[in-house]
Structure 1
Amino acid sequence: MKRVASPHPQWRKSTHSNSMSGDCVEVAGVGDMIALRDSKAPNGPILPLHPTAWHNLLARLKDG
C-alpha cells in the first residue's frame, strides 16, 4: 500500500467487508503508518498501526 503524508487519506474498503450489513473496515496509508477505521463512523476514532503490526495482524487474520 502506498503511504502518503496527507491530511485527507484515501480510504479503501476491505474486499471482505459486507456492504449489505454495513460492517465495513477501511484502511489508508497515513505518513509511515497504516490507519484503520469503521466505515459507519468516518469521523470516529482511527486505529494507527506500524507497518509491522499491520502485517502481523493480516497474518493472524489469515490463519484464522
Structure 2
Amino acid sequence: MTAPSPSFLHWRKATASQGSQGCVELAPLPGMVAVRDSKDPNGPMLVFEHDVWRHMVEQVRSGELDL
C-alpha cells in the first residue's frame, strides 16, 4: 500500500495532551493506523496494521514496554 499524503488524513491527538509541547497524533486508515509527531506534521509517519497497533498499546499499558 502506498501511504496517503498526511494532509488528506483526519489526524487526532489525545485529549490528555492538550497544552503539552507535543505528542503523537493518529489517523485511521482502512485496516491500519497512521502515527506522526504532532510537532512535525509534515515529517515522516508510521503506518501500523490495527492488530499490531492494538498489541503494542496493550504492551505499553501493561508496563511490558516501559522504559
TM-score by length of 1: 0.75
Unaligned residue ranges in structure 2 (runs of 5+): none
Q: Which residue of 2 aligns with 1:12?
A: 12
Aligned CA RMSD, in angstroms, stands at 1.8
The total of aligned residue pairs comes to 58
Unaligned residue ranges in structure 1 (runs of 5+): 1-5
Structure 1 stretches of 4+ with a deviation exceeding 6 A read none
* More relative contact order, 1 or 2 (CA 8 Å, 6+ apart): 1
Give percent identity, aligned residues only. Answer: 38
Amino acid at match of 2:43: G
TM-score by length of 2: 0.72
Aligned residue for 1:43, secondary structure, equals coil
Q: Which has the higher helix share?
A: 2
Q: Which residue of 2 aligns with 1:48?
A: 47
